[in-house]
Structure 1
Amino acid sequence: MSVPLYQVPEQQPSVWQPTSVEEAMHLKHKWGDKAVLISGGTWLRTRWENGVSPLPQHLISLARIQALSGLAMDAGGQIHIGPSLRLADLMDSELMQMKCALLVKACAEIAAPSVRNLASIGGNVVTRTGDLIAALLVMDAQVVCSDGTAEYTLPLAKWLDAPTQPTSEVMTGIKVPNTDIEDAESTFEFYLKVGRREAFTPSVVTVAGRLGLAPDQTILSIALAAGGGSAVPARFADLEAAAIGRPLSKDLLQLLHTGVSEGFQAVPDDYAGVAYRKQTAANLIVSECYKVWRKGGGANAPKS
């Protein structure tokens, strides 16, 4: 989509290419609201073209800061993801395919290949409504942020709880802990996105889940999250706590459906209302949990 001529500013923004986080934040502090930190720019571009946000006077590119594009696993099995890592590169990584398959699956649901070649994982998270966030939440991801002088690490769920994110800092890392569930006989993961058409579509609802089950189908661990549209994705902490230690059963599935439907903080728009989004999120999550139940012999399911 091109910008109509009458919307093109007389002076195009200056583009700066710092090579360190410290330099990038120095520039950001210098110009404040007149400058924007940018990585892939796919989300920001749509906001500028649609008139949602004004084109800033300065663009501070993070592309040359190599530390923000790294990908590694430490000795404890924790994955360290640079926020500037492109979605296409993340999907192609053997490490991510092996250790973070759920996140790879979520990336495949984002836009088209041409967009994934530009879009970054950090940019998707910084929007606070990105389709990757539900998957990262159930993986207990953490974010690392810096103001240019000091870094801090915060659980993604807690970072999202803030009403707005500070404009005087930049995300410098995403950490995904070792997701192996001790003592679990079986581990199941799912990620689903519902849009207004089959492909290359904004989400109406996104859900993700991760269950660790004992041999008797008792739930040892459970993580459920939902988002979509303008909603800030979130976990269902109280519902998860109520499910721990209980066998996966019809009664529990009913409890999960009610809990998700009531607890999902959906946001309406011109395409879908709150009731539809709540019902869809609950149906998707319980449908996946039902499949797990059936695999374990629930309702006398035949063994395959």
Structure 2
Amino acid sequence: MSVPLYQLPEQQPLVWQPTSVEEAVHLKHQWGDDAVLVSGGTWLRTRWENGVSPLPQHLISLERIQALSGLAIDAGGLIHIGPLLHLADLMDNELMRARCRLLVQACAEIAAPSVRNLASIGGNVVTRTGDLIPALLVLDALVICSDGHTEQGVSLQKWLEGPVQSSFEVMTGITVPTIEHTGEEHTFEFYLKVGRRETFTPSVVTVAGRLRLAPDRTIQGIAIAAGGGSAVPARFNELEAITIGQPLSKQLLQSLHKGISEGFNAVADDYAGVAYRKQTAANLIVSECYKIWRRGGGADAPKS
């Protein structure tokens, strides 16, 4: 006789389907801690099945709020991403493929296709540990939240550094700026994820980076971020600041490695310790910078 992996409750949650953010927030206030706002629900489901979080009495589905699923670019080149947009839909969008390849690449590294067809961009961010976050950080993403009456935008970096989002707020948008290239500079981007196996696995370490080099191969702009596991992803702001104006060199790469190893706030779990995660994050980022250095042909760049 088979035994179920988990015991389903006798009474399943009631599912509410508001058609506006205002209605969703009202329902959340009405049911309080007995209700959870949900979109794709892929992350929440794993928590319920593993006993990490109790199954709530009420599920407030945001899927019928059409305004939260859009994708557009404004006259200023700002990409507006609806938080309910599914990962698979973002990956298939020609605009994102042309204007935001880094985020498309990050989506492709998450879970299996069946999960990407359900999981939402906003849901990945709301977890505060999602694998999309390092890529969004280096792209200087902005998150917009509403309390049902007013919306407020804040940089993703500040949002992560602040208190956990109120359960009575709804994320209504994520914006990512596009950058026009003049031809006098070269921009390089990378996204890497390390897990316990090649695919369909939670991340141990996830890193992303964006470097902009001038014709003389000095660094005009740099953004690097790391996360993975239970760590809240973060940018290395101080490290970025001291590299601006410097040429890529062996000495700079060594400094980056040391700074990342020391600055990454990794979190240990049953699969990997803090030291391993720090070392891996530093190795991944510096390896990508080394490839850029090697292609750049600087004075002390390696020839092979």
| TM beyond 0.5 | yes
**Contact 1:203 1:229 (C-alpha < 8 Å) held by counterparts:** yes
| Whole-angstrom distance in 2 between the partners of 1:182 and 1:71 | 26
Secondary structure at 2:234's aligned position in 1?
A: strand
**Contact 1:129 1:230 (C-alpha < 8 Å) held by counterparts:** yes
Identity, in percent, stands at 78
Q: Which residue of 2 aligns with 1:294?
A: 294
Q: Which residue of 2 aligns with 1:149?
A: 149
Q: Which residue of 1 aligns with 2:175?
A: 175
When normalised by structure 2's length, the TM-score is: 0.96
| Whole-angstrom distance in 2 between the partners of 1:5 and 1:267 | 28
After superposition, give the CA deviation of every residue in 1:240-290 in whole Å (9 maximum; x if it has no partner): 000001111111101110110000000000110000000000000000000
**Contact 1:73 1:80 (C-alpha < 8 Å) held by counterparts:** yes
* Structure 2: unaligned runs, 5 residues or longer: none
Q: Which residue of 2 aligns with 1:20?
A: 20
After superposition, give the CA deviation of every residue in 1:38-67 in whole Å (9 maximum; x if it has no partner): 100000000000000000010011111000
The alignment status of 1:117 with 2:134, answered yes or no, reads: no
Q: Give, in angstroms, the shift of residue 180 of structure 1.
A: 3.2
Q: Which residue of 1 aligns with 2:270?
A: 270
Read off the aligned partner of 1:8 and give its amino acid letter.
L
Q: Which moved more, 1:289-298 or 1:271-280?
A: 289-298
**Contact 2:13 2:57 (C-alpha < 8 Å) held by counterparts:** yes
In the TM superposition, what are the counterparts of 1:222-301 in structure 2 within 5 Å?
222-298=222-298, 299-301=300-302
Secondary structure at 1:262's aligned position in 2?
A: helix
Read off the aligned partner of 1:198 and give its amino acid letter.
E
| Whole-angstrom distance in 2 between the partners of 1:233 and 1:94 | 28
Q: Which residue of 2 aligns with 1:80?
A: 80
| Whole-angstrom distance in 1 between the partners of 2:5 and 2:252 | 57
Q: Which residue of 1 aligns with 2:61?
A: 61
| Whole-angstrom distance in 1 between the partners of 2:199 and 2:221 | 32
| Whole-angstrom distance in 2 between the partners of 1:78 and 1:261 | 33
Read off the aligned partner of 1:177 and give its amino acid letter.
P
* Structure 1: unaligned runs, 5 residues or longer: none
Task: Output the aligned Cα RMSD.
Answer: 1.6
Read off the aligned partner of 2:50 and give its amino acid letter.
N
Q: Give, in angstroms, the shift of residue 11 of structure 1.
A: 1.4
Read off the aligned partner of 1:79 and give its amino acid letter.
I
Q: Which residue of 1 aligns with 2:127?
A: 127
Q: Which residue of 1 aligns with 2:200?
A: 200
Q: Which residue of 2 aligns with 1:32?
A: 32
When normalised by structure 1's length, the TM-score is: 0.96
Secondary structure at 1:7's aligned position in 2?
A: coil
**Contact 1:181 1:212 (C-alpha < 8 Å) held by counterparts:** no
**Contact 1:184 1:212 (C-alpha < 8 Å) held by counterparts:** no
**Contact 2:19 2:64 (C-alpha < 8 Å) held by counterparts:** yes
| Whole-angstrom distance in 2 between the partners of 1:180 and 1:264 | 30
**Contact 1:143 1:156 (C-alpha < 8 Å) held by counterparts:** yes
Aligned pair count reads: 302
CA 1:7/1:206 → structure 2, altered by over 3 Å: closer, same or farther?
same
